[in-house]
Amino acid sequence: MGRKSTQKQSGLVKRGDIWHIDKRYKHAPGGRIRESTGESDFNKAQDVLIFKLEECRKASLFGVRRDYTFREAATKYLLKNQDKSRIKDSAYHLKLLDPYIGNLPLKLIFDESLEQFVKDRKQAGCKNKTINLSLGIVRQIINLAAYKWHDEYGKTWLEKAPTFEMQDNDDAREPYPLSNDEQKWLFSCLPDHLQTMALFKVNTGLRDKEVCNLSWDYEIDVPELNTSVFLLPKGFIKNKEDRLIVLNKTAKAIINKMRDQHEHYVFHYRGKKLSQMNNSAWKSARIDAAIIAVKNDKKCNYQSLDVTVDRIDQKVIATVKGLNKDGTNDSVVYTSDDYNEEREKKGLPPASKSKRSDYHAIRVVVKREAVRRFIDAFWPLHSMFCNVRVHDLKHTFGRRLRSACISNEDRKILLGHTNDDITTHYSEVELESLIKSANAINTTKRGNGPTLTILKNRVKHGKGVHKTSTLGL
């Protein structure tokens, strides 16, 4: 009988390029160790095995706490929270964190361990709020390891949880409620299915996810008022409360238009539910709408304002040029080389150009960035409109309710904000009052200027261009 190899006897098995532990051991939980060493070198893998064996022995005989890695803790967190509505977002953040702290023992994770992660994310252009989402998950996992999770010997995974310092949320983008004209320009640039969803959103104050998941199963008929309402379950509501949706005249017309088009969902695209409204079509539409806004600006003296995208060999070049009446030009040029350079700074590979569809995607992105830079350079008053978010439709609805002098209590209900007094039981009179409040946004006279939503302090800057500082109301 042939002798087994030393590598097999050691309890190491190679799968692909990585050595894995598969060994029976009396001191191990369940009598067996099965996990990856994370090493491709056999000698290093043996060192990992020896360390794991000694760790199990000490834990079994002397009650010494095992050193769990953050990767192990992250895996446990994901497995135990599969039913969470935002588990995919958590997995995304943990994937970003893994190269920085995945191999570290939990006891070595603190603010200093995350400094490089924070630095790299800021360099990639992330806002502090986005970085805090990642840090918040780290803090949550560390707290679970210290106070809730126990090993086979009754020990918590971590002896004590350190405190974590969050980033100051001082770079957050201000809300940008739309004026009537801005809404008209933006919606005219959206494809039909997104235009319908956006119009519904700006008349109900729903969040992006709530619009995309709106189902006919949630509709409740109210024959006394000749209408219907929707009651969204708290499962995918941000504040974990059931969400009442009342329909003003515009929203009701949209519901009647969409009825019987899809078996389950109110809004869809080619028979499929959308996962989000903030897609490529939305991003392109806001860029096109910003150009319309500039052309309609009273201070605009351009004889022409053109956006061109050309391809020279493998290079995509976008040019935005405004021709002034005195013969001078306001222009910005942005290329695919500039785009790939920015991707490299973020640690991303160059954009692929292997397919014809790849070139189309690059053309779209390069055009967007060229227009955005043109607006920032020459028309900063329209910069926020150029970057308007889907969530700003909710801010628009809220601001219009306030302009119509709707009470704070009704605004909370209509916007789905946390309300200690909120209930899912409404009388006919209460529903009628809420519907009247929702309709008020279509009857109140609203100005077209940005002063509807924010105060603007205009400071003279350059040749007739004004910079803006905003004060949220």
For the chain, what is the domain count? 4
Residue 355's domain spans which residues?
298-378
Strand, coil or helix: 9: helix
The DSSP string of 25-75 is: -TTSGGGEEEEEEEESSHHHHHHHHHHHHHHHHHHHHH-PPP--BHHHHHH
Backbone φ and ψ of 202, nearest 5°: -75, -10
Q: Do 58 and 75 sit in the same domain of this protein?
A: no
Six-digit token string for 84:
């969470």
Q: Do 88 and 214 sit in the same domain of this protein?
A: no
Domain boundary among 328, 344, 378: 378
Q: Do 233 and 214 sit in the same domain of this protein?
A: yes
Question: What single-letter amino acid sits at 286?
Answer: R
The answer as to whether 160 is a domain residue is no
Task: Per residue of the chain (473 residues), give pLDDT as tens.
Answer: 444 444 444 788 888 888 888 888 877 777 888 888 888 888 888 888 888 887 777 776 766 677 889 999 999 999 999 888 788 899 999 999 999 999 899 999 999 999 999 999 988 888 899 999 999 999 999 999 999 999 877 889 998 899 999 998 877 788 999 999 999 999 999 999 999 999 999 999 999 989 999 999 999 999 888 999 998 887 666 666 788 899 999 999 999 999 999 999 999 999 999 999 999 999 999 999 999 999 999 999 899 999 999 988 888 999 999 998 888 899 999 999 999 888 887 777 888 766 666 788 899 999 999 999 999 999 999 999 999 999 999 999 999 999 999 888 888 888 887 665 545 566 777 888 888 889 888 765 555 544 443 443 333 333 334 333 333 32
CA dist 161 and 340 (Å) reads: 41
Q: Say if residues 329 and 323 touch (Cβ distance below 8 Å).
A: yes
Q: Do 203 and 333 sit in the same domain of this protein?
A: no
Phi-psi category of residue 462: left, alpha or beta, with phi > 0 → left and psi -120 to 50 → alpha: left
The answer as to whether 157 is a domain residue is no
User: pTM (2 decimals)?
Assistant: 0.72
The answer as to whether 174 is a domain residue is no
Q: How many CB atoms lie within 10 A of CB 450?
A: 21
Q: Do 265 and 130 sit in the same domain of this protein?
A: no
Q: C-alpha angle 214/279/270, rounded to 5°?
A: 55
Q: Do 93 and 52 sit in the same domain of this protein?
A: no
Q: Do 84 and 141 sit in the same domain of this protein?
A: yes
Alpha-carbon 215 to chain mean position: 22
Residue 185 per-residue DSSP state: H
Question: What single-letter amino acid sits at 82?
Answer: Q
The answer as to whether 240 is a domain residue is yes
DSSP-derived pairing of the beta strands 243-245 and 315-324:
unpaired
